[in-house]
Copies of this chain bind each other. A is one copy, B any other.
Amino acid sequence: MDPVRIIEIKESVFADNDAEAERIRGELKKEKTFLLNLMSSPGSGKTTTLLKTVEQLKDRLRIGIMEADIDSAVDAQIMAGTGVRTIQLHTGGMCHLDAGMTEQGLKELGTDDLDLAILENVGNLVCPAEFDTGAVKNAMILSVPEGHDKPLKYPLIFTVCDVLLINKIDVLPYFDFDMEKVIESAHMRNPALKIFPVSAKTGEGIEAWTEWLYQAVAEWKGEN
């Protein structure tokens, strides 16, 4: 296996991040490429969930992955094992990606032959939520061991996301995690939030999520 390409991305120079994000979405629309921005805490299972997502969809969609981390290429090496085009973005200590930083990644990845580009954002529930990356949809993962109080403590990320994956449901018996309470408080933050309980480890619930994603990509490409 070839070593994964590591891109050192630079701080963004654009004053108006929202305008830049809209411009990126406009270009992706022309290319018929869907960009998903995936956010979560460190260790909630973003990479394992992505692996399962790619397994389910790689025969039906042309997929490219950008793994963003402050350091290391651990995740990109794992993802590259799936055979989909993968690059590692290093943020140089920055805790999030904005639109300009995302665009540097998209250019390095190459998107004109992709149906679906996925950005695995830096593990953090705070800063990534503050920046529109230019993604068509935002998804977040909350894992069972993190606890059901997170929509109360980290309101913004639940507000800006379209989809919430509640991961690691295979360990529900070992944690005091109130599924009804988390769904209720997440919907209080964002009534339109789509919620999928999943286990990336066992595969439970993954198909419902990947079907939703497949439909969202098809809509973006104008096929529905």
Contact = CB atoms under 8 A, between A and B. Distances in A.
Interface string A185-204: 00000000000000000000
Interface string A17-51: 00000000000000000000000011110000000
A146 interface: yes
A147 B95 contact: no
Contacts of A44: 146
B124 A95 contact: yes
A95 to B, nearest CB: 4
A74 B123 contact: no
Interface in A53-70: 69-70
A153 B74 CA distance: 8
Interface residues of A, number: 35
A127 B93 CA distance: 9
Contact of A95 (B69, B127, B146, B168): B127
Contact of A146 (B43, B93, B152): B43
Interface of A: 41-44, 69-72, 74-75, 93, 95, 122-127, 130, 143, 145-147, 149-150, 152-156, 168, 170-171, 174-175
Given A70-B126, A71-B154, A145-B171, 7 more contacts: A41-B41, A41-B43, A42-B146, A44-B146, A70-B154, A95-B127, A145-B145
25 contacts: A41-B123, A41-B146, A42-B153, A43-B150, A44-B146, A70-B153, A70-B154, A70-B155, A71-B155, A72-B152, A72-B153, A74-B149, A93-B126, A93-B130, A93-B156, A95-B95, A95-B124, A123-B125, A123-B153, A124-B124, A124-B126, A127-B127, A145-B145, A145-B168, A171-B175
